[in-house]
Amino acid sequence: MGIGGSIIDPNFIEDYLGMRVESVDEVEVIRRMTEGIYDEKEYEKAMAWVKEHCIEGFDKNPEEMQRSREVKDADWEFVVKMMLIIKDLMNGNPNLPEGREEEMVGHNAIAAGFQGQRQWTDFYPNCDFPEAMLNTSFDWNGAREPYILATENDVLNGLGMLFMKLLTNRAQMFADVRTCWSGESVKRATGYDIEGKAKEANGFIHLINSGACCLDANGEAKDENGNAVMKPWYEVNEADQKAIMANTTWNYADLGYFRGGGYSSRFVTRAEMPMTMIRLNLVKGLGPVVQIAEGWSVALPDEVTDTLWKRTDYTWPCTWFVPRITGKGAFTSAYDVMNSWGANHGAISYGHIGADVITLCSMLRIPVCMHNVEEDKIFRPAVWNAFGQDPEGADYRACQNFGPQFKKV
């Protein structure tokens, strides 16, 4: 991939996080598919569930480019097998065919990524279905702990998702930080005057990606008071699962992006929910830093959503995000937040958990270079006070002084 986040730095992951990296060539997915190295019974169960619960959406491709029903059905079978195989690679599976004891073991992976574009997706169906469903808090076996599977193998975004999953036990969003719409640009494009939190920030950020986002993010699960929520995975019930699936469609891949076909999840987040977006960046000569933006998803009128959504890709999942504005630095407006962001990807969690992320980062010796968390909510080790009275500078100096937790001598 031509993005920095896809370049894996094993030294960083070993020294700062105490984990090893294992890389598997994606031809392994094809080998297992070709040789039948997957659980046939689970595959049959998965396909039956997909046919019952996965609503196939419209095909945006020109009619002369659209694939036949036979090809589309074969793509469904392909992407379901991909999901099973990626899960087996991460976890292992004792139910693989006899004689496949090595494959049964798996890699004991706490997180993974799939580097599809473009060599894979120019030839094979894309990985949107496996990514979206593995990142979601349920599948054909019911509620289960969500996986972390980063699209485009953006390891830095995947690690941000992992941090927040471990803090919250909730499914995590992977999204492009794609576009900032100011109040003026929304008015010009749609005639609509933005309101509420969006008006306070003079705009909002379009979070959208080709279908790798967890389905929980459509906000159709509800708490006991009927409020939209992304629940901890062990609280997701059958009603939540049905509502989430009923408000998600699977649209055939845009063949301009994905010549190999496949399916992208499509939904719009229609509810206001508290959210925290973070980004882990690696800076040469400095090391890792984290950015944090607390805010909310916001709902727009359908006609406004449709107009703005079509400016990117109308077949991809859509969330409008408003960061909480403080009037200072990067948090002067929604545009300033996006303009200060370190990459075109963000990891997004339900809830305002920025203070927890800051504490975690201090434990990992990773300085936080940008945040909008209230000072009275921040907790760092008391020794940080010895490094000066400016909190950000002290954070950098303390992290540099103590160094990575797991660094080898």
* Interval 159-205: pLDDT, tens: 999 999 999 999 999 999 999 999 999 999 999 999 999 999 999 99
Other C-beta atoms within 10 Å of 406: how many? 14
Question: Is CATH 3.40.250.10 what the domain over 4-402 is classified as, yes or no?
Answer: no
Is residue 107's pLDDT more than 90?
Answer: yes
Is residue 369's pLDDT more than 90?
Answer: yes
Q: Is 176 a catalytic residue?
A: yes
Is residue 56's pLDDT more than 70?
Answer: yes
CA 378, distance to chain mean position in Å, is 25
Average pLDDT, the chain: 96
Coil/strand/helix, residue 368: strand
| 148 — pLDDT class (breaks 50, 70, 90) | very high
Marked catalytic residue, from 15, 26, 152, 395: 152
- Own/partner long-range contacts of 8-11 (Cβ < 8 Å, ≥24 apart): 8/153, 8/155, 9/282
What is the pLDDT at residue 4? 75
| 146 — pLDDT class (breaks 50, 70, 90) | very high
Coil/strand/helix, residue 176: strand
From residue 349, give the alpha-carbon distance in Å to each of 47, 108, 134, 166, 232: 29, 24, 16, 11, 11
What is the pLDDT at residue 5? 77
Which residues lie closer than 8 Å to 278 by C-beta, 6 or more apart?
160, 163, 164, 290, 291, 292, 293, 346, 347, 348, 349, 354, 357
| 2 — pLDDT class (breaks 50, 70, 90) | low
Residue 265's DSSP bridge partners are: 250
Higher-scoring residue by pLDDT: 278, 4:
278
What is the pLDDT at residue 43? 98
pLDDT one-digit tens code per residue, 66-89: 999 999 999 999 999 999 999 999
What is the pLDDT at residue 117? 83
From residue 392, give the alpha-carbon distance in Å to each of 21, 60, 122, 372: 31, 47, 44, 12
| 50 — pLDDT class (breaks 50, 70, 90) | very high
**How much is the average pLDDT of 399-408?**
93
Share of the chain above pLDDT 90, in %: 95
With tokens 């992290």, the residue in question is 399
pTM equals: 0.97
Is residue 53's pLDDT more than 80?
Answer: yes
Is residue 1's pLDDT more than 70?
Answer: no
